[in-house]
Amino acid sequence: MPDSRTLLRAGGRGVAVLGAAALTVAAFGAAAIVPWPEHRAEPLARSIQPAESRTLRVCPGPMLELGDDAESVSALGSARIATATRPADAGAERVVLAPPRGTEDDVAVSLVTEPGAVDAGMLAGAQSQRLTTETAAGFLAAGCAEPVADAWLAGGSTELGRSTLLLLANPGEVAATVDVRVHSETGPVEAPSGLGLVVQPGGQRVVSIAGLAPGAAAPVVHVTSTGGTVAATLEQTAIDVLTPTGAELIGTTAPPATRQTITGVVVPQSGGIAVDEDHAEGDAHPSLRLLAPGADAVEAAVSVVPEAGGEGSVFDVVLQPGQVSDIPLGELAAGEYTVRIDADGEFVAAARTATTAGGDELPSDFAWFPASLPLLEETLVAVPRGPGTKLHFANPGDAEVEASVTIGDDERRVTVAAGGVASVQLPGGGGSALVTGGAGLFASVSFNGNRQLAGFAVQPPGPLDSPIVVYPR
């Protein structure tokens, strides 16, 4: 048996252990109660304002026509370009880009201002052209675009009697390497020849969509570039046997999103095809082109809102992933409309309408209306010459928006109700319009005359020349 001294030593060690444990618990408790001295090291950061650069827009130029081989193109007439800057004396130099291979015609034009001469959105350009040739006829108009690295274009067709070209312009000082990917009604198109296309600095390149997606009834084109940025435009012409049935320049549409707004959709004559018709072919009826480029199906609700007031129509559609859908907009009365689409997934959208002459069944012209992005507080719009010119607004917000539209010395107030639409008649001789207080509105310009139909979206400038926060290592 252990003696009493051994027991005393063991008991002493136990008391010491318990005492140390108690001290430890007390120390941690005190640490939880007593505030520790704080020290925070904020990351070193600097806000860098990029040096002011030139502001530029690119006008696609006149309608082009392919020659006897894929390397030759020719210009059909010339385009009339309207430019505008604010301040007005800032000026915009016109720089003609090097034409595509196979032609000596001047084609794309770059509008350039000096560094710091104008604020964001205060350089605008647009063009129009009337075609009356044996192979192409119609009225076409387009806004002069800002070069970007990523663009979506919804429109065109490569079926029999339809020609669609992609115009790529690089106004920069370095070469742009461009990938062109096409979706159609059957899904993504495998076209390796559309990848790695080089657009030389200060030049333009033309790509035949039929060469990438032959026989496509409903193409949507996705353009991405590295190195330099490019301005991308589609052009479409249609002919029925020997009768030209329209021509159009198609600008970029808003990037994929869960909500898209298409304003200023002109329906020249009453008519159309019911939404549930499954045989809606051809160009002569109002329709909507939609693409969900993701991996999942998308359910969308479409609202067609007439500018003249009254009840519109609402219908639902299901978009299969990667497949383009051309959907009739229903039987519509003549007038202007805004089309709103809300979905549970991202998609791109554009609308198409056509005009006929007299009792003709064939279209005499057609137009594509891309989806747009919301305006800034101030937006300058260049307006080329054309018939029945209107500036359209749509307000998807929950509050009324009051904006002013200044045309020359004439200032007009425009009130766009929450969820409502409005329009302003513009002079047919061209010019410009300054929209003030229009933040959050969507806008477009349309043209409507005898055998003449066209439109383009008013897109806000990209986030260029904004401050950049840099964290040095």
pLDDT digits (tens, 9 = 90+) for 50-84: 555 678 999 999 999 887 665 678 889 899 999 99
Distances (CA, A) of 22 to 14, 26, 215: 12, 6, 85
For range 270-275, the mean pLDDT: 88
What per-residue confidence (pLDDT) applies to 72?
77
The rounded distance, in Å, linking the Cα atoms of 430 and 80 is 10
Q: Which of 24-33, 113-122, 275-284, 297-306 has the lowest mean pLDDT?
A: 24-33
Q: Is residue 425 part of a domain?
A: yes
Domain count for the chain: 1
Read off φ and ψ for residue 378, nearest 5 degrees: -125, 135
- The residue type at 344: D
- For residue 434, what are the domain limits? 56-468
Give me the mean pLDDT over the 383-411 stretch. 96
What pLDDT does residue 11 have? Answer: 46
Percent of the chain with pLDDT over 90: 68
Over the chain, what is the mean pLDDT?
87
pLDDT recorded at residue 315: 96
Using alpha carbons, list the distances in angstroms from residue 51 to 2, 117, 118, 148, 351. Answer: 89, 13, 14, 19, 39
Between 429 and 17, whose confidence is greater? 429
Tokens (6 digits) for 67? 């020659």
48 pLDDT above the threshold of 70: no
Q: Confirm whether 7 is domain-assigned.
A: no
Establish if 265 belongs to a structural domain. Answer: yes
Token pair of 189, please?
């198109």
pLDDT in tens, 406-456: 998 899 999 999 999 999 999 988 899 999 999 999 999 999 999 899 999
Q: Is 227 a member of any domain?
A: yes
pLDDT value at residue 10: 43
Alpha-carbon span 230 to 54, nearest angstrom:
15
**Residue 87 preceded by cis peptide, ω within 30:** yes
Element (H, E) at 18: helix 4-33
Q: Is residue 21 part of a domain?
A: no
Tell me the mean pLDDT in the region 291-299: 98
Per-residue pLDDT for 247 more than 60?
A: yes
pTM score above 0.85:
yes
Higher pLDDT, 456 or 101: 456
Tokens matching residue 344: 């549970």
Q: How far apart are CA 112 and CA 128, in angstroms?
A: 19
Asked if residue 349 belongs to a domain, the reply is yes
Residue 39 falls inside a structural domain: no
Of 209, 179, 180, 204, the C-alpha closest to 70 is 209
Is pLDDT above 70 for 7? Answer: no
In a domain, 121, yes or no: yes
